[in-house]
Amino acid sequence: MYKIREASGEDLSSIFSLINKQAHNGKILKRSRKEIKKVLRSFFVAEQDGVIVACGAIEIYNKKLAEIRSLVVTSTHQRKGIARALIKRFIQVAKKKRVYEVLTITDRDDVFVSHGFSQQLQGQKALFLRP
């Protein structure tokens, strides 16, 4: 059985390789060790038998907005509800910190909708521009 916990400094290498393996597949954005280290307190990991099998971060930018980023479950552990458990934890964190809105940018909206995520929020939409 896996356990969801806050990331620690010792998880840095595992997080780095999980993210960058998927970034290589074009699924999520690449991140440097330095960048991950800087926001390590936003990261949670799923650990099974001492091995990190998934990670993800809830980065709180301010009281208004937090973003779920770098959500990756290693291929051998997918479809077991690990992403679901991580997202649940992120929402708990956002509630506790009283963040107004939580955003995620993903091609896997199916993973988020059952948690209440929607492309519209009270009639308002998120618009993107990559400058």
Ligand X SMILES: CC(C)(COP(=O)(O)OP(=O)(O)OC[C@H]1O[C@@H](n2cnc3c(N)ncnc32)[C@H](O)[C@@H]1OP(=O)(O)O)[C@@H](O)C(=O)NCCC(=O)NCCS
- Where do contacts with ligand X occur on this chain (CB under 6 A)? 22, 27-28, 71-73, 78-84, 106, 108, 110-111, 114
Nearer to ligand X by Cβ, of 66 and 82: the residue is 82
Strands (E), the chain: 3-6, 43-48, 51-60, 65-73, 101-104, 120-121, 124-125
- State in angstroms the smallest separation of the CB of 97 from ligand X: 21
Cβ(29)–Cβ(66) below 8 Å: no
- State in angstroms the smallest separation of the CB of 128 from ligand X: 15
- State in angstroms the smallest separation of the CB of 103 from ligand X: 11
d(Cα 97, Cα 105) in Å, to the nearest integer? 21
User: Within 10 Å of residue 130's Cβ, how many Cβ atoms?
Assistant: 3
Nearer to ligand X by Cβ, of 28 and 52: the residue is 28
HSE at residue 93, side-chain half, CA atoms within 13 A, is 22
Nearer to ligand X by Cβ, of 26 and 123: the residue is 26
Nearer to ligand X by Cβ, of 12 and 27: the residue is 27
Residue type for position 33: R
- State in angstroms the smallest separation of the CB of 70 from ligand X: 8
